[in-house]
Every structure is written in C-alpha cells, then in structure tokens.
Amino acid sequence: MYMFKYVMKRIGLMLMTFCVIMLICFVLIKLLPVIPNSQAGDKEYLESIIVARGYRDPILVQLGRYLKRIFLYGDFGVGVNMPEYSGKPVWDAFVSRLPPTILINIYSSLIGVPIGLGLGILAALKKNKWQDHTISTLVMVFISVPSIVYAFLIQYIFCFKLEWFPLGVADTIATGASFLSWDMFVAMMPATLSLCLGSIAGYARGTRAELTEVLTGEFMLLARTKGLTRGQATLRHALRNSMVVIFPSILSEFVSVLSGSLVIEQIFVIPGVGKLYLTAINSVDYDFFMFLSGFYCLVGLLAGIVVDISYGFIDPRIRMGAK
C-alpha cells in the first residue's frame, strides 16, 4: 500500500513537472522569431502566411489551440519548416523513425550490459592483477575516445575492409526487410557496436568500482564465515548490493540512447530519430519541437520513477513511501 501510494504520488508529481516543462518549452520556442519561408520576395505576403498559420496570435491563445488540437483530435500537427518533413504529420514522422533507433538501443543494451558487467566483475575479483589492469586500461580508452571515432573505425574495418556488414542500414530497409529480420540485425551490428563500446566501458568501470568497495565490506567477511563460497557470496551479496548503483545507470543509459545518436545514425545511414530534435530546434518547427520535447521529457520522467522503484526490488531494505 505504501508502495502504491508512493507510485501514485510520484506519477502525480511527474505530470505536474511535465506540464510545467512543456509550458516553458512552448513559451520559449514561441518567443523565438518566426522564420519566414524566404527572406526575398513579397514580404507582406510571406507575413500573411505566418499570420494565417496563427503564429502571430498571443502565445496563450496559441497554447489553447495547441492543447485543444491534441486533446480533442489527437493531432500533433505537421512539420512546417522541417527539412524532410515539411507538410507531414509529426506523429507519423516520429513513429516511422523510431523502430531503428529503439532496435539499435536494445541490441546495444543486450550486448553491452552482460559484457560490461562481466568485465567489471572480473576486474573487481582480480583487483590489481593483470586482468584488472588490462580491463581498466581498455575501459579508460573506450571512455575517453568519442563514439564517432569507433564508428568510423568499425565502419572502415568491418564494413569497408573486411566486408562483414553492409555499409549502411538504409540499404537493408530499402530491400523491404523486416526490422526484426536477421538481415536487419546484421545490418545494425556496426552501429550497435559503435554505440555499446562506450557503454560497456561505463558499465565495467561502474561495476568494478562498486563491487570492489562492497567486496571489502565486513558483511562479506561474515558471509564467507557463514560458509558461503566466494562465488556465492559475490553473486548473492556483493553484486546485488552494488546493483543499487549500477542498475539505475543502465536504465538512464537506455533512456539517453532512445533519443538516438545523430552521428552514429548519419555514419551508418540509419533513418532514426537522432536528427529530428536538433533539426526541429534549428528550423524552429513548433509542432515537431513540442512533440519531441514532450516525448523525451516524459520518457526521462518515467525513467526516474522506474529507477526509484527499482531500488526497492534490488535492495529489499529500501521501501518507498514507508514512514
């Protein structure tokens, strides 16, 4: 019951936060100067187009219309200044671009989490031995080097030189292959690897640091004196305790990758959502900007709640909302 109340309270607060953020976003984007279709030509006419679109009305009037449109008709608007999407519904554009981004994100997590955790555990268990030094060095390298560098290297080595993978994902999409097909999985591998190398390093570093600390705890000594093997003590006690810190970082990584990676998508020719947000801001496309802001804001807020709740599952001592 405590938990239920807590979740409800958090959801209520989340909605309030969401509304405030969206209101700020709406006002801020509307405060930017409206971009006309052209700097040349009949300025009066171009201005009349802006007026007819309602962009010169008071911001609150525009907000009212915007909310009415969404809640009454489920209409998120159409792109106006967005390259590639002018005149096209925001919802359709976003939904059509989301699958590749989500898939790559999932593949990246599926590969990155076990490897990252595995390496982290190994490094912690072999602390200050050659295994730890090797892993730590590699971790430092992968964390320091930006993913764009891996992306170019992976593309050049695995796609161009060794020809293990297609150069771009778009070629596979163009053949009509399903997003869940084997061909698509193969095509997405280079981008997935580029994305997850940094994550692997991050997970490994985090796991090693947490686990090393936990392993030196007195309760670990107690666990061993109870008769548990080193493996049992590590898995049941040490790892579980360290997950309190590691698990939220996995979730937040997942959420951040959901917004797509502009560079990775461009290099591997992936029609994902990475470019949409930036383009929406640069081109001052109100409907795209608001929708994407709303989406990412909601995902971020939900992730916060999920992370908080997850603490309770990982560590039973943590009870949300309990007095």
Partner 1 sequence: MAKKWRKVAIIATSLVMASSIVASTAGCKKLVVNVDPVDYAKHTYYTYTNESPSSWNEFSYESENDRIILSYIGSAFFEFDYDFGSEGKFKTDGSLNKDAIQEGKFTVNYSAATKLEDVSAEYVGQYGLEKEKHSLLVDIDDPADAPAGKHVYGDADNGYFYIDDAPAGYEAVMAPDGSDVYYETDPVGKAWKITLREDLKWDDGTPIKAEDFIYSMKQQLDPAFKYYRAQEYYSGNFILHNAKNYVYQGSEGWFAGDTSYKNYSESIDDKLVFSLGSSSENSDYDGAICSFRQWLQDNNYAKESTTAAEVGQFLELNQVATAAELAKIEHKKLSEIKADATLKAIWDKVIGWWQTEPDEELDFFVAEGKFPDMDFEEVGMKALSDYEFVVVYDNEISDILNEDGSLAYGAGYYFSSLPLVKKDLYEKCKQAPSGSNELYTSTYNSSVETSASWGPYKLKNFETGVYFELVKNENWYGYNLPENKGQYETDRIYYRIISEWNTAWQYFQKGGVDSIGIDVSIAKDYKNAERAYYTPSSLTSSIHFQSTLSALTKEKGNAMLKYQDFRQALTMGIDRAAYASSVTTSSQAGLGYFNSLYYYDVANGGVYRDTEQAKTALLNVYGGTYDSATGKWTVGTQTYDTLDAAYKALTGYNLEGARKLIDKAYDEALANGDIDAKGKVTLTMGFPEDNTAYRRYFNYLKKAWTDLVKGTKLQGRLNIKFDGNHPGANAWATDFIDNAQYDICCIGGWSGGEWNMPYIIGSYIRDSRYAKGWDPNGADTKFTFTIKEATGEGTEDYTGTHTIKEWFDYLNGTGGEGAPSFVQAPTNSKLDIIAALEERILKTYWSCPAISGYSASLMGYKTEYISYDYNTFMGYGGLQYMTYNYTDQEWYDYLQEVHTLNYK
Between the alpha carbon of residue 300 and those of residues 208, 252, 254, 294, the distances in Å are 27, 8, 10, 10
Asked if 120 is part of the footprint of partner 1 (rule: CB under 8 A), the reply reads no
Query: C-beta of 28: minimal distance to partner 1 in Å?
Result: 16
When binding is defined by CB under 8 A, the residue of 11, 15, 49, 221 that contacts partner 1 is 49
Residues 246-275 that bind partner 1 (CB under 8 A): 266-269, 271, 275
Q: Is 180 in the site for partner 1 (CB under 8 A)?
A: no
Residue 88 as a binder of partner 1 (CB under 8 A): the answer is yes
- CA dist 187 and 262 (Å) reads 18
For the chain, where are the alpha helices, taking DSSP H only? 2-31, 43-52, 59-73, 90-125, 130-144, 147-154, 169-174, 182-215, 218-225, 230-233, 240-258, 262-267, 276-282, 286-314
Which one, 135 or 301, has the nearer CB to partner 1? 135
Single residue of 137, 144, 175, 178 touching partner 1 by CB under 8 A: 175
CB of 142 to partner 1, least distance (A): 16
Q: Which amino acid is at 30?
A: K
Interface stretch with partner 1, choices 114-122, 216-224, 252-260, 302-310 (CB under 8 A): 114-122
Kindly state whether residue 313 participates in binding partner 1, applying the rule CB under 8 A.
no
228 sits in the region (left: phi over 0; alpha: psi -120 to 50; else beta) called: beta
Q: Quick one: which of 10, 97, 205, 208 contacts partner 1 (CB under 8 A)?
A: 97
Q: Which residue, 6 or 62, has its beta carbon nearer to partner 1?
A: 62
Bridge partners for 86 per DSSP: 79
Q: Please, which residue, 54 or 146, has the CB nearer to partner 1?
A: 54
Q: Decide: is 84 part of the binding site for partner 1 (CB under 8 A).
A: yes
Which listed residue (185, 303, 305, 310) binds partner 1 by CB under 8 A? 185
**Nearest distance in Å: CB 301, partner 1:** 26
Contact stretch for partner 1 (CB under 8 A) within 23-31, 85-93, 253-261, 296-304: 85-93
- Cα–Cα distance list, 160 to 12, 13, 149, 182 (Å): 51, 50, 15, 20
Work out whether 278 is an interface residue with partner 1 (CB under 8 A). no
Amino acid at 196: C
**Interface pick for partner 1 out of 25, 34, 69, 98 (rule CB under 8 A):** 69
Select 35 or 303, whichever has its Cβ closest to partner 1: 35
* Exposed / middle / buried, residue 144 (Cβ in 10 Å: 0-12, 13-18, 19+): exposed
145/149 Cα distance (integer angstroms): 7
163: left (phi over 0), alpha (psi -120 to 50) or beta: left
| List 85, 288, 295, 311, residue binding partner 1 (CB under 8 A) | 85
Interacting residues with partner 1 between 192 and 221 (CB under 8 A):
193
Q: How far is the CB of 183 from partner 1 (least distance, A)?
A: 8
- In the region spanning residues 148 to 167, those forming contacts with partner 1, defined by CB under 8 A, are 152, 155-156, 158-160, 162-167
Maximal C-alpha separation, the chain? 86
Residue 125 CB neighbour total at 10 angstroms: 18
Q: Which of 64, 217 has the CB closer to partner 1?
A: 64
242 binds partner 1 (CB under 8 A): no
Residues 45, 35: Cα–Cα separation, whole Å = 14
Q: Which helix (H) or strand (E) holds 252?
A: helix 240-258
- The answer to whether residue 231 forms part of the interface with partner 1 (CB under 8 A) is yes
Cα-to-chain-centroid distance, residue 242: 23
